[in-house]
Amino acid sequence: MKSIFQLDKPAVSRLCLQFQRLFVVLKLSMERQAVQRAKEAFLSGRTRPLEFRLQQLHALQRMITEKEAEISTALKQDINRNEIKLALEKLAVWAAPRPVERNLLTISDEVYIQPEPLGLVLIIGAWNYPWAVTLQPLVGAIAAGNAAVVKPSELSEHSSLLLRALLPRYLDKDLYPVVTGGVSETQELLRLRFDHVFYTGSSTVGKLVMAAAARHLTPVTLELGGKSPCYIDKDCDIRIACRRITWGKFVNCGQTCIAPDFILCEPCIQGRVVECIRQTLLEEIFGPLLPIVTVSDMDDAIRFVNEREKPLALYIFCSDKKATKRMIEETSSGGVTVNDVMMHYTLSSLPFGGVGESGMGHYHGKHTFDQLSHQRACLVRSLRMENVNLARYPPQDRRPAKLCLGWKLLLCSTAYVSVGLKKTLMSSLFVESKSCPLKVVVSRKSAESRL
């Protein structure tokens, strides 16, 4: 057998190619194993108790605090620690059963919505905010009781490797594995079945993610981009408007999905807008100017926005509250900020997400918890009071009085019957109940108050 030193050049090339293919197979196999371990760990029920979820959230918070020196730059610009703090404070409330309204037929039943974990979530992060758009969905996934496979962007290589090194030291390494790599590794993950896919990135890749998820009927949250317009009204303080717009355009070196993309204004203020932006750039930062599109008035601005894909954010600079309200009502976007830019993103109480081409689904705070939970409808009924149900069973003509009474109860409880008809039916119900062995377990006063 020849040694590698005795092989000719083509043979060496073939051998190197075989080793390369073997490495790819082994690496893909490792990814599948990580997903399988996470799935098995979730099915074990480990994530169900709130105590476990709180422990994992505390561990994630400890990781950020203890390793701040190693990831200080990313933390200062990126991660919002309030997301973890909020989840720790509110988790018991978020995860509690939520009672809902009952009707006459379910008046004695226990009716509620119970949030429950979806299962295994895939989180695909982005390179421009490698910590925030990866850890914020992870906080929600943990809080909701899911397992999660984290796939950071390969373009932010240092953050990706650091996340892979740190996360297993603090979190359950089976439930929350980190998979690194490029396009091929992401494609391999998308071939596997998840219970939810959370992707942040471009619309082009978002369509591929959605197509891959559709093969398994997997729901997705897509946080995409889109051109975010700024409308400047001629009667607002143009200097302040331009200062805030320019800051938003160039924060994080201009690499923010909700950064202002262009300005809409009337020709009469275009010169002032250009001058104010130029002054702001000279005073604070350096960079290219924003595109400015002239429109005749607010009507023209609304038409311009509506003729294009729905943006991730819309910014309105206007002092007239009535005009502002009109522009909000007659346009559509993922979010709106009036007289500033990007600030709606900073509130955990507001859902952040796109619409149409700019994405689907939303997150931040409780909205992430709800997005990554199944809202399970629950009705708990007693086996007593069976007489109320006799009208449901055949033969249905054996007790005409009870049948008639049962259907009247049903009609009174539905939203598709007019209030007048409901009152007539309720009046007859109490007359019939005197001669019918079926007892109506509500007073007339309380019944009419429900109409």
User: Which one of 223, 236, 242, 412 is the catalytic residue?
Assistant: 223
Question: Over 80: is that where the pLDDT of 420 sits?
Answer: no
At residue 304, the pLDDT reads 97
pTM: 0.79
Query: Average pLDDT in the 165-171 region?
Result: 94
Task: Calculate mean pLDDT across residues 124-147.
Answer: 93
CA distance 115 to 92: 11
Per-residue pLDDT, 256: 87
Which tokens belong to 370? 């709800």
Instruction: Tell how many helices (H) and how many strands (E) occur in the chain.
Output: 16, 13
Residue type, 174: D
What percent of the chain shows pLDDT beyond 70?
77
Residue of 257, 276, 318, 412 with catalytic role: 257
- Distance CA(169)–CA(70), nearest Å, equals 15
Residue 412: which of 423, 399, 400, 428 has the closest Cα? 423
Rounded to 10 degrees, the C-alpha dihedral 299/304/305/309 comes to 150
Q: How confident is residue 118, by pLDDT bands cut at 50, 70 and 90? A: very high
pLDDT at 443 over 50: no
pLDDT for residue 428: 53
Within this chain, do residues 120 and 217 fall inside the same structural domain, yes or no? yes
Whether 9 is in a domain gets the answer no
How far apart CA 238 and CA 337 sit, in angstroms, is 16
Dump pLDDT digits (tens) for 300-359.
999 999 999 999 999 999 999 999 999 999 999 999 999 999 999 999 999 999 999 999
Question: Does residue 261 belong to any structural domain of this protein?
Answer: yes
Give the residue with greater pLDDT, 146 vs 75.
146
If asked whether residues 409 and 323 sit together in one domain, one would say: no
234 and 179 in one domain?
Answer: no
- Name residues whose C-beta falls within 8 Å of residue 341's C-beta, 6 or more positions apart in sequence: 230, 244, 245, 247, 248, 258, 259, 260, 313, 315
Q: What is the pLDDT of residues 266-303, one digit of tens each?
A: 999 999 999 999 887 765 544 456 799 999 999 999 99
Count of the separate structural domains present in the chain: 3
User: Measured between alpha carbons, how far is 111 from 149 in angstroms, rounded to an integer?
Assistant: 34
Most confident segment among 23-37, 251-265, 416-430, 434-448: 251-265
Q: Does residue 88 sit in the same domain as residue 147? A: yes
> What is the residue whose two structure tokens read 């371990």?
37
* 257 a catalytic residue: yes
Q: Is 276 a catalytic residue?
A: no
Does 441 have pLDDT greater than 70?
A: no
Residue 38 and residue 181 share a domain: yes
Note the pLDDT tens digit of each residue in 34-82. 898 999 999 999 999 999 999 999 999 999 888 877 776 654 544 455 7
The residue-averaged pLDDT of 156-183 equals 92
- Is the same domain home to 53 and 176? yes
CATH number of residue 290's parent domain:
3.40.309.10
Instruction: Yes or no: say if 213 and 222 are a contact pair by the CB < 8 Å rule.
Output: no
Residue pair 249/290 in contact by the 8 Å Cβ criterion: yes
Are 39 and 117 in the same domain?
yes
